[in-house]
Amino acid sequence: MQYWPLVGVALVVIGFALRMNPAMVVVGAGVVTGLVAGKSPVEVLTLLGESFTKQRYLAIFLLTLPVIGLLERHGLKERAQAWIARLQAATAGRLLIVYLAARQLTAMCGLNSLGGHPQTVRPLLAPMAEGAADARHGELPEASRERLKAMCAATDNVGLFFGEDIFIAFGAVLLMQGFYAENGIALEPLQIALWGIPTAICAFAIHATRLSRLDARLAREVAALHARAPAERDA
């Protein structure tokens, strides 16, 4: 058994650790792995091309990026922040709780593409959460702003992960059904999916509790920032 082709894994780890371009790192590691495994450059390019054409959803994803970039160039982020700031009852925590519920419900129906980091969190959810926080508490410290962005991404992850487990056609549900069938236990996908409901409810309750405390934490951090400002000016 040859272990040299595993050098591609090391290249990926090193590239990500150095924060290099992810696409360049992955493609470069794939090329190196193919060459070390004894493939010719033409064979490596053929394998990469075949993999790309088989995963046709990548083309849709790549088309999404320029569309989002064009919308942001024409003020999508500013419009979202201005709209959410006009809602008197809106706070960052309440907004994220609503999004968490919507994300879980749509994932339960198999509509995973309605949300996501590139198409929803970055261009819409995070700016709206920032706008709501700024309108409620004033200008946020940079650390608080970055933590709020991270919470937006985490909310999307939690909603999707625990919502899609209830969708009967989800790959993990079908995988569990196949595993049980191999061991003589006959279960329908619906039976497995229904047992995901208690977990999804617990996940929603736990993360919604964290989000409900988010506004109070942001208020404390802004107050601490304002309290330090006069002392810094006097110094």
In the block, which residue shows the tokens 């083309």? 59
- The answer on pLDDT for 12 being more than 70 is yes
Query: Does residue 66 belong to any structural domain of this protein?
Result: no
**Same structural domain for residues 30 and 100?**
no
Taking every pair of Cα atoms in the chain, the longest distance, rounded to a whole number of angstroms, is: 76
> Residue 61: its pLDDT value, please?
55
User: How many whole angstroms separate alpha carbon 229 and alpha carbon 235?
Assistant: 10
Query: Does residue 126 belong to any structural domain of this protein?
Result: yes
**Same structural domain for residues 50 and 165?**
no
Query: Does residue 83 belong to any structural domain of this protein?
Result: no
Query: Does residue 60 belong to any structural domain of this protein?
Result: no
**Same structural domain for residues 12 and 105?**
no
Query: Does residue 80 belong to any structural domain of this protein?
Result: no
User: How many whole angstroms separate alpha carbon 27 and alpha carbon 10?
Assistant: 13
Q: Which domain holds residue 32?
A: 4-55
Lowest mean pLDDT among 31-45, 69-83, 107-121, 171-185: 69-83
Q: 135: pLDDT confidence band, cut at 50, 70 and 90? A: confident
- The answer on pLDDT for 11 being more than 80 is yes
Lowest mean pLDDT among 1-5, 99-103, 138-142: 1-5
Query: Does residue 82 belong to any structural domain of this protein?
Result: no
3-state SS assignment for residue 89: coil
% pLDDT > 70, the chain: 84
- Those residues whose C-beta lies under 8 Å from the C-beta of residue 9, and which sit 6 or more positions away, are 29
Q: Convert the pLDDT of each residue in 37-76 to its tens digit.
A: 888 988 888 887 777 666 555 555 555 666 666 666 767 6
* Range among 59-63, 197-201, 222-226, 227-231 with highest mean pLDDT value: 197-201
Measuring CA to CA, how many Å separate 89 from each of 98, 136, 152, 205? 13, 9, 19, 21
- Those residues whose C-beta lies under 8 Å from the C-beta of residue 90, and which sit 6 or more positions away, are 84, 132, 135, 136
DSSP secondary structure string for all residues of the chain: ---GGGHHHHHHHHHHHTT--HHHHHHHHHHHHHHHTT--HHHHHHHHHHHHHH-THHHHHHHHHHHHHHHHHTTHHHHHHHHHHT-TT--HHHHHHHHHHHHHHHHHTT-GGGS-IIIIIIIIIHHHHHHHHHHHH-SPPHHHHHHHHHHHHHHHHHHHHHHGGG-TT-HHHHHHHHHHHHTT----HHHHHHTHHHHHHHHHHHHHHHHHTHHHHHHHHHHHHHHHHHHHHH-
Comparing 89 with 43, the larger pLDDT belongs to 43
Q: Convert the pLDDT of each residue in 196-206 to its tens digit.
A: 899 999 999 99
**Same structural domain for residues 48 and 148?**
no
Residues in the chain: 235
User: How many whole angstroms separate alpha carbon 40 and alpha carbon 169?
Assistant: 40
Instruction: Quote the number of domains for the chain.
Output: 2
